[in-house]
């Protein structure tokens, strides 16, 4: 897994259940045996309600992962060190 830092260029809402790809017993998918199916695996398979990612937010994603696909490459740009980490409210530097 290669993680990259991105900045959201627009506000995106990921629908509930979008990332529900868990496989029971498959460690990399978050599906633990005995939790039921992907739709009932609380906190393991995906979002149980729509989740909104706000424009301008820095986020770390795996470009091969399901959340990257759900957000969409067109809504992301690479994080630029020295530009995107300037915290004018003294929160990010």
Both tokens of residue 54? 């706000």
Give residue limits of the domains in the chain: 4-78
Per-residue pLDDT tens over the stretch 63-72: 988 889 889 9
Per-residue pLDDT tens over the stretch 74-90: 999 999 888 887 766 65
List the alpha helices (DSSP H) in 37-77: 66-71
Statement: residue 5 has pLDDT above 90: yes
List the alpha helices (DSSP H) in 1-93: 66-71
pLDDT recorded at residue 60:
92
pLDDT recorded at residue 41:
43
Residues 6+ apart with CB under 8 A from 22: 29, 30, 31, 35, 38, 41, 44, 45, 46
Q: What is the pTM of this model?
A: 0.64
* CB contact burial 12-34 (16+ within 10 A = b; e otherwise): bebeeebbbebeeeeeebbbeee
Exposure of 71 by Cβ count < 10 A (0-12 exposed, 13-18 middle, 19+ buried)?
A: buried
Per-residue pLDDT tens over the stretch 33-65: 555 544 444 444 566 788 899 999 999 999 988
Both tokens of residue 90? 């003294």
């Amino acid at each position: 897994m290669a993680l990259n830092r991105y900045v959201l260029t627009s506000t995106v809402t990921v629908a509930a259940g979008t990332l529900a790809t868990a496989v029971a017993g498959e460690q990399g998918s978050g599906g633990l045996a005995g939790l039921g199916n992907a739709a009932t695996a609380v906190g393991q398979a995906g979002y149980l309600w729509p989740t909104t990612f706000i424009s301008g937010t820095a986020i770390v994603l795996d470009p091969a992962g399901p959340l990257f696909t759900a957000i969409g490459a067109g809504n992301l740009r690479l994080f630029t060190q020295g530009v995107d980490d300037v915290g004018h409210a003294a929160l990010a530097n």
